[in-house]
């Protein structure tokens, strides 16, 4: 139902709304795409997201659309498309996303992340909110990339992206994805400990 309300709202905008009412057009289109996705209107959602990506003025304005597109890919069982989209966006945001990662690299990265955690964790860090919205999106895309990697990449790639999420949070403060990253890291460490015990 919400989808049709947003569709009606957009219909009242003038033909040049992306020029004359840019912020309103961007917000309404993002909300309409989310409503379409929530009601399983994936085709309409993708068409709206494509329009946003075409008309939005900068990458930062396109980030909500790209993230929703990744979410749709994952929901529809297309992890390779989700993974490729995340990789492309993270690269555009200045992140270095390797094609592959060795198990040795991840084996060194996990204890390094745990060391950072033991040094930083405390009330001061927990009270430090991540202010940079772009950085928050970087962590969101790493989270989606870890999810996609679970289905289409070796398991140590998932650990790599989870460590990246945790390290970014430890260095820059807490965001809404920090608890998920810490839980995922805990799961990885427990699995490694259990494997060593066996």
The rounded distance, in Å, linking the Cα atoms of 161 and 76 is 22
In this prediction, residue 3 carries a pLDDT of 84
Phi, psi of 183 (to 5 degrees): -65, -40
Lookup: tokens for 91: 């690269």
The rounded distance, in Å, linking the Cα atoms of 171 and 137 is 15
0.75 cut: is pTM over it? yes
**Tens-digit pLDDT profile for residues 79-109:** 999 999 999 999 999 999 999 999 999 999 9
Integer-rounded Cα radius of gyration of the chain: 19
Each residue's pLDDT expressed in tens, for the chain with a length of 198 residues: 788 888 888 888 898 999 999 999 999 999 999 999 999 898 999 999 999 999 999 999 999 999 999 999 999 999 999 999 999 999 999 999 999 999 999 999 999 999 999 998 887 888 899 989 999 999 999 999 999 999 999 989 999 999 999 999 999 999 999 999 999 999 999 987 666 543
The angle at the Cα of 52, spanning 50 to 54, to the nearest 5 degrees, equals 70
In this prediction, residue 1 carries a pLDDT of 74
Signed CA dihedral, 171, 177, 180, 185: sign only: negative
The rounded distance, in Å, linking the Cα atoms of 43 and 111 is 43
Distances, alpha carbon 140 to alpha carbons 5, 23, 143, 172, 185, in Å? 28, 23, 5, 14, 15
What lies within 8 Å, CB to CB, of 50 at 6+ separation is: none
In this prediction, residue 114 carries a pLDDT of 94
């Amino acid at each position: 139902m919400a989808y049709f309300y947003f569709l009606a709202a957009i219909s009242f905008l003038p033909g040049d709304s992306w020029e004359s009412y840019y912020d309103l057009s961007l917000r309404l289109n993002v909300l309409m795409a989310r409503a379409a996705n929530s009601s399983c209107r994936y085709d309409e959602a993708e068409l709206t997201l494509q329009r946003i990506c075409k008309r939005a003025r900068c990458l930062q304005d396109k980030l909500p659309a790209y993230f929703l597109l990744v979410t749709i890919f994952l929901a529809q069982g297309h992890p390779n498309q989700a993974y490729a989209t995340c990789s492309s966006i993270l690269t555009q945001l200045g992140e270095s996303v390797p094609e592959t990662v060795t198990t040795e690299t991840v084996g060194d990265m996990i204890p390094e992340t745990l060391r950072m955690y033991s040094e930083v964790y405390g009330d001061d860090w927990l009270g430090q909110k991540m202010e940079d919205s772009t950085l928050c999106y970087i962590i969101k895309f790493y989270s989606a990339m870890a999810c996609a990697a679970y289905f289409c990449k070796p398991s140590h790639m998932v650990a790599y992206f989870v460590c990246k999420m945790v390290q970014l949070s430890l260095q820059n403060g807490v965001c809404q994805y920090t608890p998920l990253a810490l839980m995922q890291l805990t799961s990885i460490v427990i699995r490694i400990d259990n494997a060593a015990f066996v």
